[in-house]
Structure formats: C-alpha cells, structure tokens
C-alpha cells in the first residue's frame, strides 16, 4: 500500500504545498486508487497535481465523517469532473463509501452548517453511493471499518454540536465517524480522519474486524485537541500497551498530545507531501 498526504494542517519543510486545517490522503493498493477524505477546499486537487496524482482515475472516495474539513472538497472535485466532461476527457465515476449519516446537516454554535454542503440525493448524480454502517471490504487487504463500537469510558463522551436527523435536532456524537484498516503481512495500518469515535475504540474495532492485533502504524487525526486529562491519560495507557510500530498523528492532534504520545510510541512527523509505503 502507498499513502500520500494531500491535505493536513502542516506542510513539510522545503516542500511547497498548500496546507489547511483539514485532511485528505491518496491511497493505492495494487491497481485500486482511493481518496480518503477531501479536506475543506480545492487544496487537495492542487497538491495532487504537484505530485502527479491522477484524480480522474479514482476508484473509491471514503469519507470518515461529515464535518466540513473532510467533505467540503467534494464541491471542487465535482467541478473538476464537470470540467473534464466539458472538455471530453475520460474519468471514472468513483464509489463513495461512508456511513448513512455522513451527509446529514450539522450545526455548532453560530455556524449554520458544518456538515456536507451537498445532500446525498445530488451526490448520486456524480458518484455511486455505498452507504453502510457495517464494515466494507475495498480490496482484499483494505477495509472500511463501519460504525465504531464505543467500548471505553474516556473517549467520545461529549457531543460536538448538533445533527439534524429526519427533521429533528439532536446532540451530535459523530456516530458516523469511521476509519480504514490495511492488513499487511506485519500487522495493521490504521488510517483515521478525526477519530471522533475515539482512537482507542477505532484500534479495537480494526483488530476485531481484521482478526489481527499487531499494529504497524496509525496515521491520521486522533481528536486530541485540548483533550481532558482523563482522555489523554487513557489514550497514553492504551498506546503504551499497544506498542505500535509507528504513529503518524496529525490534523486534530495538538502539541501537548503529540508530546505526550512521543513518550510512549515512536511518533513520526506528518505534513502535506509525506509519502509512506507498506508491504
């Protein structure tokens, strides 16, 4: 598996990419190409062009959850595909894999919309939708984990804004938040968006779904931003016992959390342009 960071809060030194507070990864497994999240703007498209990644040839778009910093890039991708159509260029119609609640409207404080700007009814004009709360196999080794079981009592304890479901406003616990797991010969590579479900809960689900306890790497947002002492300590205790080969915590993981993580796991730097390869 090959993974390239197209969007993150950070960019690598002496690499001239565009960063933003969002996330997008380009993943290749054999001949299958996957976009995991699409950031907030068209930054992922510009960065993909700089490293010669062909977005007209994407098989799957996997959305970890519905927040604006992971879904609003869809608007720009649709425009790009429309430009291709006008000019007569061939391009694939990707399959969008995500939870059924990903495209519901979301609000927080004075922000009238922090969820997807495009309803799923219109997205169906541009993509094939595969909405599922169950795990879904993208390739023989790469699996979408579906709705994450919330096992522990220190993660995902507080709602983040509101979600509108069937016309009713409810506290938003980001039920749709999910991740990917890649089963390598040496163990699992877990790929996360924001980990609103809890990074420890996600790891446990990946181990259960894949039947594998060894962890090669975890890359993505850990949702450790101003984390409570209880959540941070619970996460550190979990990671210390887990003993992952590496950890690439980024996006919504703040400096305090990275410093704490670096004391218990081999923490690696992440930025736009980072390229990783796994067996």
Alpha helices in the chain (DSSP H): 43-50, 68-71, 73-87, 120-123, 199-210, 229-242, 255-262
The alpha carbon of residue 278 and the mean position of all alpha carbons in its chain are separated, in whole angstroms, by 18
Please give the pLDDT value at position 73: 98
Within 13 Å of residue 36, how many CA atoms lie on the same side as its CB?
A: 32
Cα–Cα distance measured from residue 188 to residue 213, given in angstroms and rounded to the nearest whole number: 8
At 53, is the pLDDT very low, low, confident or very high (cuts 50, 70, 90)? Answer: very high
At 17, is the pLDDT very low, low, confident or very high (cuts 50, 70, 90)? Answer: very high
Please give the pLDDT value at position 82: 95
Chain-wide mean pLDDT for the chain? 97
Contact 236, 260 (CB under 8 A): yes
Please give the pLDDT value at position 65: 98
The encoded tokens of residue 95 equal 């399959």
What is the maximum alpha-carbon separation in the chain? Answer: 55
Place of tokens 């000019």: 87
0.95 exceeded by the pTM?
A: yes
Long-range pairs, 129-137, Cβ under 8 A, ≥24 = 129/95, 129/96, 130/95, 130/96, 130/97, 131/98, 131/99, 131/100, 131/102, 132/97, 132/99, 132/100, 133/99, 133/100, 135/209, 136/97
Q: Could you read off the pLDDT of 206-236 as tens digits, one per residue? A: 999 999 999 999 999 999 999 999 999 999 9
Cα–Cα distance measured from residue 202 to residue 187, given in angstroms and rounded to the nearest whole number: 15
Cα–Cα distance measured from residue 227 to residue 56, given in angstroms and rounded to the nearest whole number: 39
Looking at domain 2-277, which CATH architecture does it have? 4-Layer Sandwich (3.60)
Instruction: Enumerate the domain spans of the chain.
Output: 2-277
Q: Could you read off the pLDDT of 128-173 as tens digits, one per residue? A: 999 999 999 999 999 999 999 999 999 999 999 999 999 999 999 9
Residue 65 is classified by DSSP as -
Q: What is the mean pLDDT of residues 102-120?
A: 95
In order of 10, 99, 100, 134, the CA distances from 178 in angstroms are 22, 8, 12, 10
Sign of the Cα torsion 266, 29, 8, 133 reads: negative
Cα–Cα distance measured from residue 50 to residue 273, given in angstroms and rounded to the nearest whole number: 9
């Amino acid at each position: 598996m090959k993974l390239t960071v197209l969007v993150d809060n950070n960019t690598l030194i002496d690499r001239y990419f565009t960063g933003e507070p969002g996330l997008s990864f380009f993943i290749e497994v054999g001949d299958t190409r996957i976009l995991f999240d699409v950031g907030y703007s068209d930054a992922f498209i510009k960065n993909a062009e700089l490293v010669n990644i062909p977005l007209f040839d994407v098989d799957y778009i996997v959305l970890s959850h519905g927040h604006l910093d992971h879904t609003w890039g869809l608007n720009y991708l649709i425009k790009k595909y429309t430009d291709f159509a006008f000019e007569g260029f061939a391009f694939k119609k990707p399959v969008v894999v995500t939870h059924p609640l990903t495209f519901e409207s979301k609000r927080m404080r004075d922000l009238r919309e922090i969820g997807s700007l495009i309803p799923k009814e219109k997205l169906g004009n541009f993509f094939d939708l595969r909405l599922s709360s169950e795990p879904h196999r993208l390739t023989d080794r790469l699996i979408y984990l579906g709705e994450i079981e919330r096992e522990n009592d220190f993660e995902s304890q507080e709602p983040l804004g509101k979600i509108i479901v069937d016309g009713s406003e409810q506290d938003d616990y980001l039920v749709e938040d999910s991740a990917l797991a890649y089963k390598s010969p040496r163990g699992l590579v877990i790929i996360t968006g924001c980990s609103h479900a809890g990074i420890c809960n996600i790891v446990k689900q990946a181990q259960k779904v894949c039947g594998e306890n060894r962890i090669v790497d975890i890359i993505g947002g850990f949702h450790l931003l101003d984390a409570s002492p209880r959540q941070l300590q619970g996460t550190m205790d979990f990671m210390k016992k887990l003993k992952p080969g590496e950890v690439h915590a980024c996006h919504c993981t703040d400096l305090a959390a990275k410093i704490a993580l670096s004391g218990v796991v081999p923490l690696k730097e992440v930025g736009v342009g980072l390229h990783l390869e796994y067996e």
